[in-house]
Amino acid sequence: MALINDDSEIEYVVSAELRLADRQIRNSRADSAALLDADFREFGASGRVWDRESILDMMSDDISSAPTIDHVTAARLAPTVIHVTYRTRSKERTAVRSSIWLLRDGSWNLYFHQGTVQHETATQDDN
């Protein structure tokens, strides 16, 4: 994992991001909800736009196998904003992903996520 700087809040946010790929966390509405901002939005790799309630519904029923995650990077964009990027690989697709985490009321929560399908001809340098 390549972090832009050594920062315990960045480490926490990356860890929280990766927990959202864990099926046990995803299938627990309470555990997932604790990581999502009240104003959460996602532009999914599927092309679907998700809000907080719709993504919690989907994740609670998700039975797919967890993806492989690599090329994780993170950077603090502002005192209360951390940007995380990474790639996921599953049987269905490879996607590059980007997340914005916000610090509100003393808690880091995922505010925005976007997944973009990566075609077979793309290389890591294309990210």
Token couple for 114 = 């976007």
In this structure, what are the phi and psi dihedrals at residue 28, rounded to the nearest 5 degrees?
A: -100, 105
Distance separating alpha carbons of residues 14 and 21, to the nearest angstrom = 11
Token couple for 105 = 């009321």
Position 127 in a domain: no
Domain that residue 49 falls in: 2-118
CB 97 within 8 A of CB 86: yes
Position 124 in a domain: no
pLDDT at 64: 83
Position 125 in a domain: no
List the pLDDT tens digit at each of the 127 positions of the chain: 444 456 899 999 999 999 999 999 999 999 999 999 999 999 998 889 999 999 999 999 988 888 999 999 999 999 999 999 999 999 889 999 999 999 999 999 999 999 999 986 655 555 4
Query: Residue 107: which CATH number?
Result: 3.10.450.50
For the whole model, what pTM was predicted? Answer: 0.87
Distance separating alpha carbons of residues 10 and 31, to the nearest angstrom = 20
pLDDT at 50: 97
DSSP H or E segment with residue 125? none
Position 99 in a domain: yes
Position 97 in a domain: yes
CB 109 within 8 A of CB 101: yes
Position 6 in a domain: yes
Position 86 in a domain: yes
Position 123 in a domain: no
DSSP H or E segment with residue 52? helix 52-60
Domains in the chain: how many in total? 1
CB 112 within 8 A of CB 41: yes
